[in-house]
Amino acid sequence: MRRVARSGAFVLAILATVGRALLCVGVATGLLYLLRPYVAPLGGTLVSDALPLDELPNHAAIPLPIFVAVWSGVGLSAALLIQPRRSWRADVGFACVLWLCALAGTAASVFIVRQESPLSGLETALTIPAVYIAPLLAGLGAGLVHIQRAQPPRTARARAGTPSESRSFRRA
Amino acid sequence: MALSLPRLRFLQLLALSVCAVGVAGLLGYIDNFWLYRGYPAPREPAYVKTRGHTEVIRVKSDALGGRVQRVYVYLPPNYDAARTRRYPVLYLLHGVPGLPQVFLRIVRAGIIDDELVAQRRGQPLIVVMPSGSTGPFTDKEWANGAHPHEAWETFVARDLVRAIDARYRTIRAGRGRAIAGLSEGGYGALNISLHNPGEFRVIESWSGYERASDIRSIFGHNRSLLAYNSPLDELPSVAAKLRRTHSFIWFYSGRHDRLRDQNDDFAAVLTRLHVRHRYLVLGGGHDWRLWRGEAQAAILTAERALSRPGSA
């Protein structure tokens, strides 16, 4: 019974991670799309193909600071809303799933925009730096929440008592 | 520093707001791509004082078993005012996946028509954009398929031309008609006009192809049907008629387009058979940047090669 519950929880955790990754890709892309007209004139270092569907009118690039702020902020926001497991392993797993989602999304966009074959779309997507930088930033953002949550709130600690006190209570 | 519960709730609310804004942005991003392929919505330049307008009509086709197809018709500036004037017609065939509206939204065909008239560089045209399939993702190749009620070529060459000539003040002859299309539509324009020589004076293929795709649902793997629907194979048998009717073929391909070889071969055969044509190899691939960028040249070519408007 306990094994069934544990595997059920594992499946739920995977689904939550996939959901969180998809949410991150969607939200970050949407925010970058909304911000692009205002931040494009800033210039500086640009992250190319950050908005791959807008490649035709040359609107795909985003200034690096904005890209960093949006992706890490979205990773942090998603971790605040959905946090299936509070461990660094969960954050790494999340970053990996996010990379797959970003890769699939970019490959599909390249395939649609450039009218290439799906395979060459995937090959092109593998060479786009944004596909790698984005999950790294979102993973770091999620990690920040994990660090914060690793320490339980002071009130909760007071209620639970010290570890030695708890052990002695159980023995009695 | 650990987070207190109220602070956590506040941050979660903030995160939720960020996500909501992001999702709204995502919907806008997808919508803008679907409608305009990322380009801004088309707007007439300030110097265009008189604008044309679009009508959506429904054409019943016997070739399609009585099916009613939606057709977008762009009427040039002053069409309603000049009641005795007859106009040449440009038929535009979309690709797959595709809709007829893409010519208005992305290629800006109507705006280009207005601009050329305002600049006095071309003559006003009626632009006709039919829907060439049963849905945006359904492939019909603008060809007469192997199955009954799938005669898309006849729909364009006979039913649509008749319907447009009956409804609008057109020049009712091949010298007043041009047919063009992009990608699959370019193939369709060539295929239809080669099967109906003289029906269209100007034939344009924008990144089209000249060998029929062996699609079972359309051609049923029928080799003779595939050959008949391959302009490269069909051209020698109709070249004399094309010369006689003064047909002009204008087509281009992107330098990196995987279909370029077929266009190179087609240009070589046209040269060998002395059919009037112009072939351009342009920088780019098989995408909207090329089609949008070359639209003005394509429409201007049709406007200049077609008969000047006369009185009704």
CA gap A49, A30 in Å, rounded = 14
Please give the pLDDT value at position A168. 38
Residues B67 and B22 in one domain: no
- Residue B28: give the domain boundaries: 1-36
Q: Please choose, from the candidates B100, B94, B88, B104, the residue with its C-alpha nearest in 3D space to the C-alpha of residue B43.
A: B104
Positive/negative CA dihedral, A51, A52, A56, A62: positive
H or E element at residue B58 = strand B53-61
| B86 belongs to a structural domain | yes
Q: Please choose, from the candidates B137, B145, B65, the residue with its C-alpha nearest in 3D space to the C-alpha of residue B94.
A: B137
| B265 belongs to a structural domain | yes
Please give the pLDDT value at position B21. 97
Residues 35-74 of A with CB under 8 A from B: 51, 53-57, 59, 73-74
Positive/negative CA dihedral, B213, B192, B233, B300: negative
Whether the pLDDT of residue A163 is over 60: the answer is: no
In this complex, do A27 and B22 lie within 8 Å of one another by their Cβ atoms? yes
Q: How far is A153 from chain B (nearest CA, A)?
A: 5
| B311 belongs to a structural domain | no
Interface pTM, i.e. ipTM: 0.81
Residues 139-198 of B with CB under 8 A from A: 183
Residue bearing tokens 């649902």: B217
Q: CATH no. for residue B141?
A: 3.40.50.1820
DSSP B3: P
In this complex, do B21 and A34 lie within 8 Å of one another by their Cβ atoms? yes
As a whole-number percent, the residues of chain A with pLDDT over 70 amount to 81
Distances (CA, A) of B120 to A122, B171, B299, B311: 47, 20, 14, 19
Contact assessment for residue B93 and residue B130, using Cβ atoms and an 8 Å cutoff: yes
For residue A110, list chain B residues with Cβ-Cβ distance below 8 A.
none
In this complex, do A74 and B18 lie within 8 Å of one another by their Cβ atoms? yes
Residue type at position A148: Q
CA gap B55, B66 in Å, rounded = 22
Residues B20 and B106 in one domain: no
Which tokens belong to B163? Answer: 């319907």
Please give the pLDDT value at position A148. 64
Mean pLDDT in residue range A13-38: 93
- Inter-helix orientation angle B109-118/B295-305, to 10°: 60
B37 touches chain A (CB under 8 A): yes
CA gap B211, B54 in Å, rounded = 34
In this complex, do B2 and A153 lie within 8 Å of one another by their Cβ atoms? yes
For residue A78, list chain B residues with Cβ-Cβ distance below 8 A.
15, 19
Beta-bridge partner residues of B129: B72
Tens digit of pLDDT for each residue in B5-40? 888 889 889 999 999 999 999 999 999 999 999 999
B13 touches chain A (CB under 8 A): no
Band of pLDDT at residue B209, cut at 50, 70 and 90: very high
Which tokens belong to A116? Answer: 């290439």
Tens digit of pLDDT for each residue in A100-124? 999 999 999 988 888 777 888 899 9
As a whole-number percent, the residues of chain B with pLDDT over 90 amount to 88
Q: Please choose, from the candidates A21, A27, A77, the residue with its C-alpha nearest in 3D space to the C-alpha of residue B8.
A: A77
Residue bearing tokens 């960020």: B18
Please give the pLDDT value at position B306. 93
Tens digit of pLDDT for each residue in B114-136? 999 999 999 999 999 999 999 88
Q: How many domains does chain B have?
A: 2
Q: How far is A164 from chain B (nearest CA, A)?
A: 22
Q: How far is B26 from chain A (nearest CA, A)?
A: 4
Residues B113 and B1 in one domain: no
What average pLDDT does chain A have? 82
Least confidently predicted of A85-89, A112-116, B172-176: A85-89
Residues B270 and B252 in one domain: yes
Residue bearing tokens 């050959």: B227
Residues B218 and B135 in one domain: yes
Residues B22 and B99 in one domain: no
| B105 belongs to a structural domain | yes
Of A33, A56, A153, the CB nearest to B5: A153
Of A77, A81, A154, the CB nearest to B2: A154
A152 touches chain B (CB under 8 A): yes
Residues B19 and B54 in one domain: no
Q: Please choose, from the candidates A118, A54, A49, A52, the residue with its C-alpha nearest in 3D space to the C-alpha of residue B33.
A: A54
Positive/negative CA dihedral, B58, B201, B304, B169: negative
Residues B23 and B66 in one domain: no
For residue B5, list chain A residues with Cβ-Cβ distance below 8 A.
153, 155
Please give the pLDDT value at position B309. 64
Residues B115 and B199 in one domain: yes
Burial A58-87 (b: 16+ CB within 10 A, else e): ebbbbbeebbbebbbbbbbbbbbbbbbbee
A159 touches chain B (CB under 8 A): no
Please give the pLDDT value at position A41. 85
Q: Please choose, from the candidates B2, B9, B8, B11, the residue with its C-alpha nearest in 3D space to the C-alpha of residue A153.
A: B2
Band of pLDDT at residue A164, cut at 50, 70 and 90: very low
In this complex, do A31 and B25 lie within 8 Å of one another by their Cβ atoms? yes
Q: How far is B253 from chain A (nearest CA, A)?
A: 14
Residues B122 and B6 in one domain: no
CA gap B17, A167 in Å, rounded = 43
Query: For residue A169, what are the contacts with CB-CB under 8 A and spacing of at least 6?
Result: A161
As a whole-number percent, the residues of chain B with pLDDT over 70 amount to 98
Residues B19 and B97 in one domain: no
As a whole-number percent, the residues of chain A with pLDDT over 90 amount to 44
Interface test with A, best of B1, B9, B18, B255 (most A CBs within 10 A): B18
Please give the pLDDT value at position B251. 98
Q: Please choose, from the candidates B153, B149, B152, B147, the residue with its C-alpha nearest in 3D space to the C-alpha of residue B133.
A: B152
For residue A57, list chain B residues with Cβ-Cβ distance below 8 A.
37-40
Whether the pLDDT of residue A172 is over 90: the answer is: no
Residues B20 and B162 in one domain: no
| B197 belongs to a structural domain | yes
Tell me the three state secondary structure of residue B10: helix
For residue B183, list chain A residues with Cβ-Cβ distance below 8 A.
115
Tens digit of pLDDT for each residue in A37-78? 999 888 789 999 999 999 899 899 999 999 999 999 999 998
| B310 belongs to a structural domain | no
| B312 belongs to a structural domain | no
